Amino acid sequence: MKKFSKILSVALASAMIIGLCACGSSTAPTTAADSSSDTAAVADTATDTATDTAADTAADTAADTAAAPAGDVIKVGVVNNPPSESGYREANVKDMEAVFSADNGYELKTYYSLKNDEQLQAAQGFITEGVDYLLISAAETTGWDEVLKKAQEAGIKVYLFDRMIDVDESLYEAAVVSDMAKEGETAVNWLLSQNLDTYNVIHIQGAMGSDAQIGRTGALDEQFASGKMNKVVQQTATWDEAEAKKIVESVINSGESFNVIYAENDGMAKGAVAALDDAGITHGVDGDVIVMGFDCNKWALRELKAGAWNYDGQCSPFQAQIISDLIKSGSAPSSKKIINEEKGFDATTITDADIDTYGLGE
């Protein structure tokens, strides 16, 4: 037995070291040129989706850039959160790597961290290395003044994406962000368009205080306040599927009636649906309960397509093409804040093409 435990301990210790090495490599800055062939393959497919996304806003220029890579390589440094943060972030990172590829005439340097100070250091590093453009999705909204001023002095243009930072507008070229409040409004407008006699809503919220939660809750709260919709229960499941299920279960057990589930992400919607299934309550198209989710995961859109859900709102992670277009056009945008267009999908109108184009994951 003792021998066994000794061997085991050696094996585990070595496994730990390997693990740590792996950890190290994922956080260290890497350049796109170094990246292996399989990431390049992913990049190809992602480029298509990204191009489609931006089709509405800048179809012409997109075609130009793809056709004619510039003679000089444009150096871009991206400071982002790590892809492990969420499915959203994973798609976001892939999109960045795909758009700012060598094929498109870029040299990409990336740094991923959840920690603001590490991000700040990396940005500093990129400035010293002499990138042309600095793209930032900051972990925290504060502390960026100094670094951005330095970038300005060095003649480096800064774009913010996905998240805003608390600095003077003059310090960056533009910020490409999602409007979470608008996502909520789109969803609530869709719900109103269903013309139900009564709206008895179970509202499952995300982690309280997060941008997505505040945005997606706002529009619905207005409806509750105006009395158009009844709040059966409003609870946060902190993005946790299992918690969402418990919340809905508890409402079912209490015997209160409801006909809408408004979950602020796909996972929680799935949790809610599981509770309905266990209780024998029908849902989706032709069902007793309308199910609404957000984020447009591929699997969620398939549920939508199958009619098990009714609505899924997009939160687009595809900002790279918009920034790329701005860089290549060379002109300053009309507004510093550029809102990334986002859709909402209805179970009755969604197509397989939509799932391929807009679905996240897999």
Partner 1 sequence: MNNMFKKLIKGGMGQLAIPLIAIALLVIFNLIRDPGFFFVGISHNNDGNIVLQGNLISIINGASELAVLAMGMTLVTAACGGQDISVGAAAAIAGSVLVKTLKSGPQITGGKVLLAFILACIVAMIFGSFNGTLVAVFKIQPMIATLILYTCGRSIAYWINGGATPTVSSPIISAIGSFIPGIPVPTPVLIVILMAIIFKLIFRFTSLELFTQSVGINGSAARLNGINSTFIKLLSFIILGVCVAVAGTIGVSRLGLINHETLLLDIEMDAILAVAIGGNSLGGGKFKISGSIIGAYVIQMLTITLYAMKVSSTDVKAYKALVIILLVVIGSPVFKDRFNKFVNRMRGDKKGISEKGAAKA
∠208-137-150 over CA atoms, to 5°? Answer: 130
* Contact pick of 236, 310, 314, 324 for partner 1 (by CB under 8 A): 236
Q: Which amino acid is at 133?
A: Y
- Nearest of 250, 255, 257, 180 to residue 220 by alpha carbon: 180
Shortest reach from residue 95's CB to partner 1, in Å: 13
Would you say 2 or 353 has its CB closer to partner 1? 2
* Contact pick of 162, 173, 183, 240 for partner 1 (by CB under 8 A): 240
* Contact pick of 52, 140, 221, 243 for partner 1 (by CB under 8 A): 243
Strands 174-177 and 200-205: unpaired
Whether 128 and 96 have beta carbons less than 8 Å apart is answered as: no
Decide: is 45 part of the binding site for partner 1 (CB under 8 A). Answer: no
Would you say 15 or 339 has its CB closer to partner 1? 15
Decide: is 298 part of the binding site for partner 1 (CB under 8 A). Answer: yes
Strand partners, 161: 176
Decide: is 361 part of the binding site for partner 1 (CB under 8 A). Answer: yes
Decide: is 208 part of the binding site for partner 1 (CB under 8 A). Answer: yes
For partner 1, which stretch binds (CB under 8 A), given 158-166, 168-176, 228-236, 322-330? 228-236
**DSSP label at residue 36:** -
Decide: is 284 part of the binding site for partner 1 (CB under 8 A). Answer: no
Whether 124 and 194 have beta carbons less than 8 Å apart is answered as: no
Decide: is 247 part of the binding site for partner 1 (CB under 8 A). Answer: yes
Residue 83 has which token pair?
């892809």
Would you say 12 or 73 has its CB closer to partner 1? 12
Residues 92-151 that bind partner 1 (CB under 8 A): none
* Contact pick of 271, 293, 313, 344 for partner 1 (by CB under 8 A): 271
Helices (runs of H) and strands (runs of E) counted in the chain: 13, 13
Whether 73 and 105 have beta carbons less than 8 Å apart is answered as: yes
Decide: is 7 part of the binding site for partner 1 (CB under 8 A). Answer: no
Please state the length of the chain: 362
Q: Report the alpha-carbon distance of residue 11 to residue 92 in Å, rounded.
A: 37
The CA-atom distances, in angstroms, between 353 and each of 69, 356, 359 are 29, 5, 10
* Contact pick of 246, 288, 329, 332 for partner 1 (by CB under 8 A): 246
For partner 1, which stretch binds (CB under 8 A), given 4-12, 70-78, 195-203, 336-344? 4-12
Decide: is 83 part of the binding site for partner 1 (CB under 8 A). Answer: yes
Give me the residue label for tokens 């509770």. Answer: 275
Decide: is 8 part of the binding site for partner 1 (CB under 8 A). Answer: yes
Decide: is 68 part of the binding site for partner 1 (CB under 8 A). Answer: no
Decide: is 14 part of the binding site for partner 1 (CB under 8 A). Answer: no
Would you say 77 or 317 has its CB closer to partner 1? 317
For partner 1, which stretch binds (CB under 8 A), given 55-63, 140-148, 188-196, 270-278? 270-278
Give all strands of the β-sheet with 311-313 in edge-to-edge order. Answer: 230-236, 200-205, 260-263, 290-294, 311-313, 344-346
Decide: is 316 part of the binding site for partner 1 (CB under 8 A). Answer: no
Strands 230-236 and 260-263: unpaired
* Contact pick of 170, 282, 329, 348 for partner 1 (by CB under 8 A): 282
3-state secondary structure of 144: coil
Phi, psi of 312 (to 5 degrees): -135, 125
Q: Which amino acid is at 262?
A: Y
Whether 200 and 257 have beta carbons less than 8 Å apart is answered as: yes
* Contact pick of 67, 280, 331, 353 for partner 1 (by CB under 8 A): 280
Shortest reach from residue 360's CB to partner 1, in Å: 6
Phi, psi of 168 (to 5 degrees): -65, 140
Which residues are at the interface with partner 1 (CB under 8 A)? Answer: 1-2, 5-6, 8-9, 12-13, 15-16, 19, 22-23, 83-87, 89-91, 208, 233-243, 245-247, 249-250, 252-254, 266-267, 270-271, 274, 276-282, 297-299, 360-362
